[in-house]
Structure 1
Amino acid sequence: MTILFTHLKILVVLLCLPLLANAEIYEWKDAEGHKHFSDRPHPDAKKITVKPGYSYQIIKTVYDGDTVVLEDGRKIRLLGINTPEVRHRDKQADAGGDEAKQWLINKLQNTKIRLQTDEELTDKYKRTLGHLFTENKEHINLELVKAGLAEVSIYPPNLLYTTELLAAQHQAEQAKIGIWQRPEYAVQPVSSLTEAGHTGWTRLAGKVSNVRNTRKSVYLEFSDKFVARIERKWLFLFPDVNNYLGKNLEVRGWLNRNRGRFSMLIRHPSAIVSMK
């Protein structure tokens, strides 16, 4: 019972450490060698350093509008958003890519940030996934969306700040600022798809002529050239997909080509917009 009680005391103190970050914490051992912690002095106790629940860091490098490198070497991919690509070797920059990168450089100069992660810590490229906040409590991911420099791109199970991000995107889109005023990102009819397809993030609109089910996915068929695919494991996030049948919809994302047909993976219902 004594050992259990001691462990419980340690647990309580450790849970409270973020609240006691500016207080003095003391550690000591009793005659049986069990550790004790307290915010009050005790004979033979030593002070220990309490690290807060998060720390601020300096940005070392800004790769583009949604990817940075921290001073500790971690490469961070901002969650919940996507900015246009900047120039990579032989690939030209997407419209708005340089603007997003420069905005981020300017915003992060002479400031420190803290990182907040979500369900998935890294992506397939080993980049750390998260939201960045400045010392002034500015949410960088959100500010990029507000400025019209990024579109919302939700990747379940990472759903933190989805409501805030989508509200900011709606305002930027209605105000036609940033990418929302660029012809490169205007919605295009599905019927305009050619054999060349489309590189980068795009918006397509058309009527759903069929809803097809397979073991792993549900397909919203717009034409013999294009389908939107929803993985079954994320269907619980969506309304009844059968209600999409016969509706005019806009879908947002990246095109993939397979067997002469284009498809777009829809990860979250926010990538589907009803057309009036």
Structure 2
Amino acid sequence: MGSFHRYLRPAPLGQIVTSRFLLLFVLFLLLPRLLPVAAADLSGRVTWIYDGDTIKVENIGKVRLVGIDAPEHKDSGRDSYYLRQGIRRARLRQVSKEALTFLIETVKGKYVTLETDNETRDRHGRRLAYVYLPDGTLLNQQLIAEGYAAVYRKFDFRMKQQFIATERTAQKNGLGLWQP
């Protein structure tokens, strides 16, 4: 029995510290792959503006700004919401151009940070995200505030109530889509 115990000697302190450090280091390297993607991990330079609610971000691809709907460049079935609000088609086309110009001037070539909501992709495979400008401004909400987009009410999303309040203010002030 005495010979058995000599093999159960505790490991030297240096080995314990080294092995624990190595284990923590490996966990540190693997942890980002095991957890959902954090907002800070989704950032990049805006390389293209498709329209008033879709951009392209370097190393990420097409990004659809979650919670907003900007008018299309051409007549579309999606115009029906705006037409029911009393907005004329000519106004929709004009605001579509203004939204595109605004995005080009505001974000093209700049680094943005993306934050996803409940749904991360739309039916077209585009990433759905809140887009934050370098100064912390939420681009999605800014487009609504300027009247370049309306709240996309078809689906639920975390910031829906804030966006609706922002839209009401834009309507009250007659901005963009809501110009009399």
Once the 2 structures are TM-superposed, how far is the Cα of residue 73 of structure 1 from its aligned partner? 4.6
Partner of 1:170: 168
TM-score (ref. length: structure 1):
0.46
Residue 68 in structure 1 maps to residue 66 in structure 2: no
Once the 2 structures are TM-superposed, how far is the Cα of residue 60 of structure 1 from its aligned partner? 1.0
- Structure 1 runs, 4 residues or longer, greater than 6 Å off: none
Mapped partners of 1:142, 1:166: distance in 2: 10
Q: Match of 1:60, SS? A: strand
Q: Match of 2:164, SS? A: helix
Residue 30 in structure 1 maps to residue 29 in structure 2: no
Partner of 1:217: none
Mapped partners of 1:130, 1:87: distance in 2: 24
Check conservation: 1:29, 1:36, Cα contact below 8 A: no
Check conservation: 2:46, 2:109, Cα contact below 8 A: no
- For residues 57-76 of structure 1, the C-alpha deviation after alignment (integer angstroms, 9 at most, x for no partner) is 10111000000111115111
Q: Match of 1:170, SS? A: helix
In the TM superposition, what are the counterparts of 1:1-276 in structure 2 within 5 Å? 30=19, 35-37=23-25, 53=38, 54-55=40-41, 56-87=43-74, 94-156=93-155, 158-181=156-179
- Percent same amino acid among aligned pairs? 25
Check conservation: 1:77, 1:129, Cα contact below 8 A: yes
More contact order relative to length (CA 8 Å, sep ≥ 6):
2
Structure 1 counterpart of 2:178, which letter?
W
Mapped partners of 1:29, 1:69: distance in 2: 45
In terms of fraction of residues, the more helix-rich structure is 2
Q: Match of 2:177, SS? A: helix
- For residues 7-46 of structure 1, the C-alpha deviation after alignment (integer angstroms, 9 at most, x for no partner) is xxxxxxxxxxxxxxxxxxxxx8528x97125xxxxxxx9x
RMSD value over aligned CA atoms? 3.1
- For residues 135-188 of structure 1, the C-alpha deviation after alignment (integer angstroms, 9 at most, x for no partner) is 1001000000000111111343x4121121111101100111111116xxxxxx
Structure 1 counterpart of 2:150, which letter?
E
Once the 2 structures are TM-superposed, how far is the Cα of residue 109 of structure 1 from its aligned partner? 3.5
Any stretches of 5+ residues in structure 1 without a counterpart? 1-27, 38-44, 183-276
Mapped partners of 1:68, 1:76: distance in 2: 5
Check conservation: 2:150, 2:167, Cα contact below 8 A: yes
Q: Match of 2:103, SS? A: helix
Check conservation: 2:47, 2:108, Cα contact below 8 A: no
In terms of fraction of residues, the more strand-rich structure is 1
Once the 2 structures are TM-superposed, how far is the Cα of residue 96 of structure 1 from its aligned partner? 1.2
TM-score (ref. length: structure 2):
0.68
Mapped partners of 1:82, 1:110: distance in 2: 23
- For residues 199-258 of structure 1, the C-alpha deviation after alignment (integer angstroms, 9 at most, x for no partner) is xxxxxxxxxxxxxxxxxxxxxxxxxxxxxxxxxxxxxxxxxxxxxxxxxxxxxxxxxxxx
Check conservation: 2:48, 2:108, Cα contact below 8 A: no
